[in-house]
Structure 1
């Protein structure tokens, strides 16, 4: 028997990764907001341009983010993700699911409870809560988007082999000390500043920052010619998904953070961040038009407007870092 229950209607697309990690922690009586988790995981900036694909940024893996989260919160965990994003089925047995609460990364194509697929490639996160007598895996999923864009909760079960054979990775949190997690939360502002600097500044070896990489990639769009139109559709679609699932969600989390921690001038800055987010939404809409009505002149408009937005975002982030550092004095 499966059950759907309505959850809050969130703004934008907040990924299944953060939503289900939040609820996994709550099952261990650890209450953190998704914004807390987002910044404790960190590593949300692109780290390089994938030259094997025309318009694709490489981001740190979820395994890197989970490792960072557990390191900062002093959580003892068992984790297994294939570095090449292959299935780990051969390394799994039923003991993993027996009387344990485990965060799973599963190929979305086997999850028939999903009405709309996850943005993050073909991978979807959900929680396994145990095995029933028929060796079915009991699952809970706190990020199921319906056709109206609302986020719902799903509780149900899947055949063991169905999940096992489509498993990209998992994390099982063995020992959690609430006092140590609270200690990490007390250092939240420092973690946020560290992550914002990753977005803004070049690395020690002179490599571009996160926003610098994004700007470089979007500059390519303005240089495309009409002859490239036949390969644009998939390239633009992939870039739209990257922007939605990785870049644009930042604005929701940074605004939640400023409100939660009552950051100096937070209300005014929230309005500015959301204005930039809305402008990014317009750019992704322009890209979507390119997937069915390609026009190389539109590329120049996309590239120019994105460049202007990145400049605005950089200036606003610098102001936010200054405010956060001032609050720590």
Structure 2
């Protein structure tokens, strides 16, 4: 096994291990980033932030710039299609206290790519390079780029984009081993990530299908990447970070969390969401998190149905506490 859990650097930023929480919309808000960091994510990444939202001082977008002292180091991801506005957005993000700026060049969502943003930039490499260069020149903190392998199987643009990112001053690149057309279907192509590793001298972070210690080790072994990024495997599952680190350090496979541990963490997460976003938003957003926390548990479908029907935070919290008490006695 080539993987280790030793410290890893992105530019001047030291990470305690090469294990990173991916930027995920609807998942990586401040409360969950704090949780993931506490469990062992050496770097946490924010949900993607719109350059135009920052430029026009959109209230929701500005709120996404909030960083808790205990979540550092934190990478803030921005997206856009114009070098000038992306540079301004990057300066705002640095001022907000981010340790690293990540540029999204992999989002497959239609409303993003229709504007020439996200994965659409893999079809416009000159513009992509200009954006990276403008962002790097606008800030003093490290800049990274997250991409897919390409738009489709025929367009394997990642090695060339990675080379351009390196030339433009990026400190590292992350490659999700799927095409834009795949979205999240099929399997991540580790051979294509390996090709990107061979193409550049800056660190490459491997992303895709990492669900436990062995799959993390496979990503390292088969690609030669210098770090790994965990996406969907971390949804409702912060335990994945200590599991991966233990496996990389000693080959140890940790036991999965007990139902009681899951309910306890779910309750803490809900309380943090309420404190951060208020009752109305917390109740609605926690339904998705609850589905992930309870996945695979006995009677999980019925549990989810009861939680989804809860019309107040008091009822929702009472349900979680009842489930927790049942497991503890």
TM class by shorter chain equals: 0.3 to 0.5
Larger relative CO (CA 8 A, sep 6+): 1 or 2? 1
TM-score of the two chains, using structure 1 as the length reference: 0.34
TM-score of the two chains, using structure 2 as the length reference: 0.34
Higher radius of gyration, 1 or 2:
1
